[in-house]
Chains A and B, each alone.
Chain A
Amino acid sequence: MLCGMGVGFLLRKRKLVIVPVLVTVLIWLLLFFLGLDVGMNPSIMHAIQSLGLEALLLSLAGIAGSVTLAWALWRIASRKKKGGKS
């Protein structure tokens, strides 16, 4: 990734139209492979409901934690600066 950042910095004057397209296609390909892994593994297919529940729990907890801190930051920031614009 750092290599890519270096290359990108060197090429910053050129139009890199192809890069977002390549990234999208590679992501499609990798998600397809993940699906392939899941589909070929019967133990995952059987556990799909409990895995979904776990996923829901984890994301809700993450959301709750980040919302709490964002709310606290907003309270502090808008108290310091009346009207609180960014």
Chain B
Amino acid sequence: MKGSMIIVGFFVLGIVCGIYHLLPDAIQQANVSYYVLCALMFFVGVSVGSNTETLKSFKKLNPMLALLPLMTIVGTLAGCTIVTLLLPHRSLTDCLAVGSGFGYYSLSSIFITQYRGAELGMVALLANIVREVFTLLGAPLLVRWFGPLSPISVGGATTMDTTLPIITRCSGEQFVILSIFHGFLVDFSVPWLVTLFCSM
């Protein structure tokens, strides 16, 4: 939660600097953020590739429950498709790109800003923050109403880090590996799906 606050803090700081033009406009035109994004993707790749321990523990999973990441992705995209009908000024791919953040607000909003501009990037940031906060606050009720898998599914890409503690507490210890597996796969799908929908 503290990490999220710092991230939002940087975003707000950026807004303030933008409104009052505290930084030279040249930074915007020089496309700095594109190169920073490339560097970020490289390091995300390094941390995934070097984490072989986690990959090994996935072999113990129940094959049936291993379908959960797919359920999360399909369910989210279906929900966003329906909302497209309520938002006539947004295209289907816009909505799907926002949905494909799966709570990974930092990465998805950065990608969407890069491809579709800051306005949709901002929608993506807010929508995905809401998703993470909803998981953190709603996990106990979700478990009671929709079973122990539901907070994992709502958590999306965050279930291997920020929302793992609350999921462990509400769903139970036996879902830790599933939660990490789910977070790992959904996390991995974010850059691919977001860029796919943005390029369509």
Contact = CB atoms under 8 A, between A and B. Distances in A.
Tell whether A and B belong to one assembly.
yes
B165 interface: no
B106 interface: yes
Interface string A60-77: 111111111111111111
Interface in B85-128: 86-87, 90, 95, 98-99, 102, 106-107, 109-110, 113, 118-119, 121-128
Interface string B5-41: 0111011111111111101010110001100110111
A14 B121 CA distance: 36
Interface in A1-17: 1-12, 16
A76 B46 contact: no
Nearest to A13: B50
Contact of A26 (B18, B40, B80): B40
A85 B45 CA distance: 32
B76 A37 contact: no
B119 A66 contact: no
Nearest to A71: B146
Given A34-B118, A65-B78, A73-B65, A26 B36 contact: yes
Nearest to B112: A34
B14 A39 contact: yes
Given A5-B46, A7-B45, A34-B125, A57 B14 contact: no
Contacts of B25: 40
Contacts of A38: 14-15, 18, 118, 121-122
Interface of A: 1-12, 16, 19-20, 22-24, 26-41, 43-45, 47, 51-52, 54-78, 80-81, 85-86
